Amino acid sequence: MKRLAILLSLLCSPVMLYASGSNVPLLKVKTDIGDMNSLQRGAKYFVNYCMGCHSLKYSSYGRIAKDLELQEDQVQKDLIVSWEREKRLSSYMTTAMTKKQSEVMLGKAPPDLSLIVKSKSTRWLYTFLKSFYSDPSGDYGVGNALYPTGMGMPHALVGLQGLQEAVFIEKCEGGELVVNAKTKKKECKGGNMASRFSHFKKKTIGPKGSMTASQYDLMVRDLVTFLEYVSEPAKLERQRIGVWVMLFMILFTAMAYLLKKEYWRDVH
């Protein structure tokens, strides 16, 4: 009983999730892949802000149109960029940039994002898109708190968010912090002084983004919802069918029970 109580209390206690390799707690986000409006907006944001570099090579426009309840002309108008009009509903969502071009321009081919939510998580992606900050020493003048050692992607949404400023604190890791009485200098005995991300300043620097902070959060949520759907398109269908399967099971159990009662009535 005691063990059960401990197990239950462990299961119910709030757990903080951290991104691997950094000390940034992952932000919570409520996504709903059954919300067609959110998915449609997310698809539009993805095409406008990410598809110049990243592809979704397993998704065809036709499948997206069917799942997101979009008309063919809406797909042509909203999802297929003007210089790729030859693309059809059967085309896959590939980027116009070739691997070679991207390696020359960006130093690295941007990865396909079809399975990004499966390989990281919805919360990770949401946090990632909210964690760019000004860093003049970074490749594109920005850093990302989830990549403390640096990453090679520009802040594609800077025009919407503006540029955040990150605050770092010095931490003594694996040792003991001692302050020299004379020089007042801090020393980390037996460990390393490391600079760790603390938080973002509320105010952005430089030109303002075109969205307010809460509009930006909703936009990122839609974008993440779309990529969550893309990572498992069958999930929509599964959730729809799941309810009926559960109802059938309940009904079937009731019928089986009644039948059993009927069979055994004469025996007892």
**Where on the chain is the footprint of ligand HEC (CB under 6 A)?**
49-50, 52-54, 106, 108, 110-111, 113, 116, 125, 128-129, 151-154, 156-157
* Residue 161 CB-density burial (10 A; 0-12 exposed, 13-18 middle, 19+ buried): buried
* Residue 236 CB-density burial (10 A; 0-12 exposed, 13-18 middle, 19+ buried): middle
Closest CA to 138 of 157, 152, 158: 152
Closest CA to 116 of 170, 164, 33, 56: 56
Residue closer to ligand HEC by CB (options 157, 230) is 157
Cα separation, 94 vs 222, in Å, equals 21
Read off φ and ψ for residue 239, nearest 5 degrees: -65, -40
* Residue 43 CB-density burial (10 A; 0-12 exposed, 13-18 middle, 19+ buried): buried
Residue closer to ligand HEC by CB (options 136, 174) is 136
- Compute the least distance from the CB of residue 262 to ligand HEC, in Å: 59
Residue closer to ligand HEC by CB (options 57, 238) is 57
- Compute the least distance from the CB of residue 105 to ligand HEC, in Å: 8
Cα separation, 172 vs 199, in Å, equals 18
- Compute the least distance from the CB of residue 224 to ligand HEC, in Å: 8
- Compute the least distance from the CB of residue 25 to ligand HEC, in Å: 18
Residue closer to ligand HEC by CB (options 187, 217) is 217
Map tokens 């919570």 to a residue: 28
Residue closer to ligand HEC by CB (options 61, 216) is 216
- Compute the least distance from the CB of residue 155 to ligand HEC, in Å: 9
Closest CA to 40 of 82, 77, 83: 77
What residue is closest to ligand HEC based on CB? 50
Residue closer to ligand HEC by CB (options 19, 75) is 19
CB atoms within 10 A of CB 81: 14
In this structure, what token pair is assigned to residue 58?
């397993």
- Compute the least distance from the CB of residue 76 to ligand HEC, in Å: 22
137 backbone φψ class: left, alpha, beta (φ>0; ψ -120 to 50): alpha
Residue closer to ligand HEC by CB (options 70, 157) is 157
In this structure, what token pair is assigned to residue 11?
């299961």
- Compute the least distance from the CB of residue 110 to ligand HEC, in Å: 4
